Amino acid sequence: MTTMDARSMGTSVRRIEGPDKVTGTATYAGDSVADGTLVLHPVQAGVARGEITAIDTAAAQALPGVVAVLTHRDAPTLGDTGDPEHRVLQGTTIHHRGQYVAAVLAEHAEVAAEAARLVVVTVDENPSTTGFDPDAQAYTPSALANGQPPDSGVGDPDAALAAAPVVVRASYATPMEHHNPMEPHTTTATWVDGRIEVFEATQGVESSRQTLATLFDAEVVVHASHVGGGFGSKGLHAGTVLAVLAARTVPGRPVRFALGRRQMFETVGYRPATVQHMALGASRDGRLEVVTHDVVGATARYKEFVEPAGGSTRSMYAAPHRRTSHRAVPLDLDGPTYMRGPGEAPGSFGLECAMDELAVALDLDPIDLRVRNEPEVHPENGLPFSSRGLVECLHAGAERFGWSSWDRTPRRRLVDGWWHGVGVGCGTFPTLRFPGSAAEITFTGGRYVVAIGAADIGQGARTVLTQIAADALGVDVGSITVEIGSTQVPVGSIAGGSAGTASWGSTVVEAADRFRDKYGENPDDGDHADAATPDNPWAGEYAMAAYCAQFAEVAVHADTGEIRVPRLLGMFGVGRILNPTLGRSQLQGGMVWGLSMALHEESVVDPRFGEVINHDFAGYHVASNADVRVVEAEWIDEDDPYINPMGAKGIGEIGIVGVSAAIANAAYHATGVRVRSLPITCDDFLTSGLL
Amino acid sequence: MSTTIPLTITVDGEPRDLDVDPRTTLLDALRDRLGVTSTKKGCDHGQCGACTVLLDGRRVLACLTLAVAKDGADVVTANGLATDGELHPVTEAFLANDAYQCGYCTPGQICSAVGAIDEARQGMPSAVTSDLTGEVTLDRTEIAERMSGNLCRCAAYVNIVSAVEEASRA
Ligand code: FES
Ligand code: FES
């Protein structure tokens, strides 16, 4: 078993669509503006739960420039996708504040917005619960969002905790967070002769096509040549359904619905809040006897999504006794969804902070503690690891970061009024391959055209698929044209789960092998071959995942408690990096997400109204340029022949994992103040009495 | 129909006539009325910078600018920065430094960077400038500060700063 030879893979080919992006000529879903495009503005529920008793649209309809007003009264019955979020305008029940209850279609945006304000919706309000209380009545979900069982266990963890010489018990909290890609969700839809054509901001054209085809029982074509970020939020949400419902009323005319930033906090999902109860028991020499990770998380009452926050604890460290559990508290909010590093990002905050607390309790270097508990095989299912770079990442990262030059005692370094400290946090993310893609390679005009319905959401799919195809065919990248981002090319699985490149790439390699088998080195014009995603023969034989060790230096102002992160270093074990420049950009981006999660991000729900009150960029701070100082992403050499022919592990999520713990641990090292709730803010230090 | 007002603005070197609702922002006028989609809408609230254009040479947020107030103005988007088919040095530096991922914030970042470099050349201080009367040196801290009105959720910040640094020395 070997990985394929690399000529272009591993080199920094520039982004193929770069010239279009830097001039703004790359077209996103809202840029395909044809003449006569109508603009949609939604009317949204003002309560969290209730029944609509009346809708008065007369004033809106009378406004010049209004083309149509849609309500549940005239909406067709939609097909069932099994997702309650897709049942748009299907009845009178309100499940969450911000739910679409009507919509206006008008010639221009100003008129549509004004008309939407004139629609009067009368509602019988029902009592609701929208504030997350981790001590509230919780239930055991049948499965976590990633399909894994909610609970897992080995041995007798409670007895082991009672017997362990050193025990750390602590609870950690992560808040609700919103993805906020810079491009708001946008749909431009046209309905002609029973066929729907949609330009869509989506992470998967084929999954969007399938959903719309089921809902509307029609032929559907979806295009997404460029997508302005997704981070998990760009599945198919209610807004797309609303736009297509509207397009149905004006056959032949394009309808555009671009969400406003505030709607991004109401209708396209979020990372749900968690509280994680951790307990670690160890021998005095730092060997874990027991790890337990019990998670209580928020979900939506009308749409279940349970964040798998304890998932990575199942594989991170060896311990003979172990337990993870997940309980869900239902709220009358819109549905949570996957957000960069789902499960692992919040879960690593709990586990990796607890590991740091254990290192302190044992008076052991936190790196040594982790190295001592490196498992030989997957600690729950016993599978060998296809490759596991955690220890090497810890050592290489520590070396590069200058870890050993820091005294481990907290509150030792005060420089110009700032307490400085360093911390480490580790992480993992599964290496997956999604089935169901197809790739076609055609030789035409002296070039190889490689077609697969992949999505480029900023990760660089167009570019790395070109490199993979070039190496698989044994030609230069200049002879390859990759066609992606449409359902008019063979199907592609979603850009998500850090599995996009692995899934599409494996499929392209298979098609390239068939092409060469059929036509050899000198094909004729028009020769073509295709292939479906091959199964990975090693799938049940090895545990496959990416690993990282994240290092942070933190400075906390001695008087104000202001916290800054002057330096982050991430060391990654992710197999072969297909394009160092693009890979580094993506990993650094993930790390900045970790910084942003650690210090800035929190969606605050007003429990009286069920509304996120900080619903814009003034209230919901995402890391800005000045928040980011030195951020370095590096990787170890890792050859993994079992994961896919390219030997590449997905890198979309692993960048964020472990960062918030590294920062919290560094803040403890800097100040002696242990913060167990994100985001970490000035008041955590000011109220500690320690500054 | 509501009242509309005629005006002319020059966009990327071309005079364009249009009739707008007085509520129409410059951003919507460019994108929806003139089909100039180089400039993006990220928030419509003046909070993200995606809509940044150069208006009479200065960087402004098109979403906070009413089109009717800008009759006769000269607007340059990221697509209008090239001269004689040569990419602008800032544009070139963004390509060379991989200072973008999804590309959605990028036209705004580039217009903002052109404006920021110009402001620094004119000696305008920022919140992190220590000497308010001397010349401004665009080091990484200055650049990060001056570019903080442009959010990038892909978080290409490290590379954006490198690109602006490189372009400012050109
Ligand atoms: S769209 Fe203008 S600042 Fe965000
Ligand atoms: S490149 Fe995606 S938001 Fe900046």
- Give me the total of CB pairs closer than 8 Å, taking one residue from chain A and one from chain B: 185
Predicted ipTM > 0.90: yes
- Per the domain annotation, does A97 fall within a domain? yes
- Residue A61 CB-density burial (10 A; 0-12 exposed, 13-18 middle, 19+ buried): middle
User: The domain that contains A630 carries what CATH number?
Assistant: 3.30.365.10
Query: Residue B155 CA: which ligand is closest?
Result: 2
What separation in angstroms does the CA of A594 have from each of A19, B41, B86? 29, 25, 38
Question: Where are the extended beta strands (E) located within A305-391?
Answer: 321-331
Q: How many whole angstroms from A640 Cα to the centroid of ligand 1?
A: 44
Contact A231, A179 (CB under 8 A): yes
Determine, for residues B102 and A226 on separate chains, whether the beta-carbon distance falls below 8 Å.
yes
Of B2, B44, B79, the CB nearest to A261: B44
Quick one: average pLDDT of B98-112?
Answer: 98
| Cα angle, residue A601 at apex, residues A600 and A605 outer, rounded to 5° | 130
Q: How many CA atoms lie within 13 A of A459 on its CB side?
A: 30
Domains held by chain A: number: 3
Residues B74 and B98 in one domain: no
* Residue to probe by mutation, ligand 2, list B102, B147, B158, B160, most atoms within 8 Å of CB: B102
pLDDT score of A409: 97
- Rounded CA-CA distance A266/A276 in Å is 25
Q: Which tokens in the block code for residue B78?
A: 């990221």
Residues B67 and B94 in one domain: no
- Answer with the one of A200, A235, A260 that is the final residue of a domain: A260
Residues A451 and A397 in one domain: no
User: The domain that contains B63 carries what CATH number?
Assistant: 3.10.20.30
Determine, for residues A64 and B2 on separate chains, whether the beta-carbon distance falls below 8 Å.
yes
Q: Could you tell me if B109 lies within 8 Å of chain A, comparing CB atoms?
A: no
Residues B102 and B42 in one domain: no
Quick one: average pLDDT of A146-174?
Answer: 98
pTM for the full model? 0.98
Of B100, B102, B157, the CB nearest to A183: B102
Classify A420 as helix, strand or coil: strand
pLDDT score of B2: 62
Nearest CA to A654 out of A360, A343, A433 is that of A343
Q: How many whole angstroms from A146 Cα to the centroid of ligand 1?
A: 35
Residues B25 and B57 in one domain: yes
Q: How many whole angstroms from A270 Cα to the centroid of ligand 1?
A: 22
Beta-bridge partners for A125 = A50
* Structural domain range at position B157: 89-168
- Per the domain annotation, does A143 fall within a domain? no
Query: Would you list the DSSP string of chain B?
Result: ----EEEEEEETTEEEEEEE-TT-BHHHIIIIIS---SS--S-SSSSS-TTEEEETTEEEEGGGSBGGGGTT-EEE-GGG--BTTBPPHHHHHHHHTT--SS-SSHHHHHHHHHHHHHHHHTT---TT-S-SSSPPP--HHHHHHHTTTS--TT--HHHHHHHHHHHHH-
pLDDT score of A526: 97
- Other CB atoms within 10 Å distance of the CB of residue A262: 18
Query: Residue A179 CA: which ligand is closest?
Result: 2
Query: Residue B49 CA: which ligand is closest?
Result: 1
Chain A residues closer than 8 Å to B75 by CB? none
Distance spanning both ends of chain A, measured CA to CA:
57
Q: Which residue of A lies nearest to B157 if distances are taken between CA atoms?
A: A625
Mean pLDDT of chain A: 97
Query: Residue A586 CA: which ligand is closest?
Result: 2
Determine, for residues A585 and B95 on separate chains, whether the beta-carbon distance falls below 8 Å.
no
What's the order of all strands across the beta sheet hosting A255-258? A66-71, A100-106, A38-44, A255-258, A186-192, A195-200, A219-223
Contact A184, A358 (CB under 8 A): no
What's the order of all strands across the beta sheet hosting A274-282? A152-154, A321-331, A288-300, A274-282, A166-174
- Residue A164 CB-density burial (10 A; 0-12 exposed, 13-18 middle, 19+ buried): buried
- Rounded CA-CA distance A472/A451 in Å is 14
Phi then psi dihedrals of residue A49, to 5 deg: -150, 140
Percent of chain B with pLDDT over 70: 99
Residues B69 and B118 in one domain: no
pLDDT score of B9: 98
Q: Which residue of A lies nearest to B80 if distances are taken between CA atoms?
A: A23
- Rama region for A345: left / alpha / beta (φ>0; ψ in -120 to 50; rest): alpha
Residues B161 and B109 in one domain: yes
Determine, for residues A33 and B37 on separate chains, whether the beta-carbon distance falls below 8 Å.
yes
What's the order of all strands across the beta sheet hosting B52-55? B14-20, B5-11, B74-76, B52-55, B58-61
Residue with CA nearest ligand 2 atom 4: B152
- Residue A462 CB-density burial (10 A; 0-12 exposed, 13-18 middle, 19+ buried): buried
Q: How many CA atoms lie within 13 A of A245 on its CB side?
A: 31
According to DSSP, residue A537 is labeled: T
- Per the domain annotation, does A7 fall within a domain? no
Residues B75 and B95 in one domain: no
Contact A384, A377 (CB under 8 A): yes
Q: Which tokens in the block code for residue A338?
A: 């996957």
Give the tens place of pLDDT for each residue, A532-588. Answer: 999 999 999 999 999 999 999 999 999 999 999 999 999 999 999 999 999 999 999
- Rounded CA-CA distance A199/A205 in Å is 9
pLDDT score of A691: 74
Chain A residues closer than 8 Å to B158 by CB? 588, 628, 630-631
Chain A residues closer than 8 Å to B106 by CB? 21-22, 24
- Answer with the one of B36, B54, B80 that is the final residue of a domain: B80
* Band of pLDDT at residue A2, cut at 50, 70 and 90: confident
What separation in angstroms does the CA of A6 have from each of A578, A646, B112? 9, 8, 39
Dmax (CA) for chain B in angstroms is 55
- Answer with the one of A505, A532, A559 that is the final residue of a domain: A532
Residues A47 and A23 in one domain: no
Residues A105 and A56 in one domain: yes
Whether A229 has a pLDDT exceeding 80, the answer reads yes
Q: Which tokens in the block code for residue B9?
A: 């603005």
Residues A580 and A478 in one domain: no
Q: Which residue of A lies nearest to B89 if distances are taken between CA atoms?
A: A22
Q: Which residue of B lies nearest to A38 if distances are taken between CA atoms?
A: B32
* Band of pLDDT at residue A1, cut at 50, 70 and 90: low
* Structural domain range at position A156: 152-176+271-431+541-686
Determine, for residues A616 and B45 on separate chains, whether the beta-carbon distance falls below 8 Å.
yes
- Per the domain annotation, does A210 fall within a domain? yes
Determine, for residues B110 and A27 on separate chains, whether the beta-carbon distance falls below 8 Å.
no
Phi then psi dihedrals of residue A223, to 5 deg: -120, 140
Residues A570 and A632 in one domain: yes
Quick one: average pLDDT of A42-69?
Answer: 98
Determine, for residues B21 and A183 on separate chains, whether the beta-carbon distance falls below 8 Å.
no
Residues A67 and A120 in one domain: yes
Contact A24, B107 (CB under 8 A): yes
Residues A583 and A565 in one domain: yes
Phi then psi dihedrals of residue A544, to 5 deg: -125, 125
Mean pLDDT of chain B: 96
- Rounded CA-CA distance A334/A265 in Å is 9
Domains held by chain B: number: 2
Give the tens place of pLDDT for each residue, A378-416. Answer: 999 999 999 999 999 999 999 999 999 999 999 999 999
Residues A440 and A416 in one domain: no
Residues A393 and A342 in one domain: yes
Residues B76 and B97 in one domain: no
Q: Could you tell me if B105 lies within 8 Å of chain A, comparing CB atoms?
A: yes
Q: Could you tell me if B145 lies within 8 Å of chain A, comparing CB atoms?
A: yes
Whether A151 has a pLDDT exceeding 90, the answer reads yes
- Per the domain annotation, does A325 fall within a domain? yes
Of B43, B98, B161, the CB nearest to A625: B161
- Per the domain annotation, does A691 fall within a domain? no
Give the tens place of pLDDT for each residue, A243-274. Answer: 999 999 999 999 999 999 999 999 999 999 99
Quick one: average pLDDT of B76-99?
Answer: 97
Chain B residues closer than 8 Å to A458 by CB? 101-103, 154
Q: Which residues line ligand 1 (CB under 6 A)?
A: B 41-44, 46-51, 61, 63
The structure tokens 């970061």 sit at: A401
Chain A residues closer than 8 Å to B51 by CB? none
Q: Could you tell me if B165 lies within 8 Å of chain A, comparing CB atoms?
A: no
Residues A288 and A394 in one domain: yes
Residues B160 and B93 in one domain: yes
Percent of chain A with pLDDT over 90: 98
- Which residues of A are known catalytic residues? 653
Determine, for residues A31 and B159 on separate chains, whether the beta-carbon distance falls below 8 Å.
no
- Answer with the one of B80, B113, B146 that is the final residue of a domain: B80
Contact A208, A223 (CB under 8 A): no
Q: Which atom of ligand 2 lies closest to the CA of B154?
A: 2
Q: Measured in whole angstroms, how far is the alpha carbon of residue A408 from the centre of its chain? A: 34
629-668 in A: which are within 8 Å (CB) of B? Answer: 629-631
Q: Could you tell me if B167 lies within 8 Å of chain A, comparing CB atoms?
A: no
- Answer with the one of A486, A513, A532 that is the final residue of a domain: A532
Q: Which of residues B107 and B84 earns the better pLDDT score?
A: B107
Question: Where are the extended beta strands (E) located within A318-437?
Answer: 321-331, 413-415, 418-430
Residues B95 and B142 in one domain: yes
Q: Which tokens in the block code for residue A626?
A: 């000045």
Of A22, A229, A458, the CB nearest to B110: A22
- Answer with the one of B27, B54, B80 that is the final residue of a domain: B80
* Residue to probe by mutation, ligand 2, list B40, B98, B101, most atoms within 8 Å of CB: B101
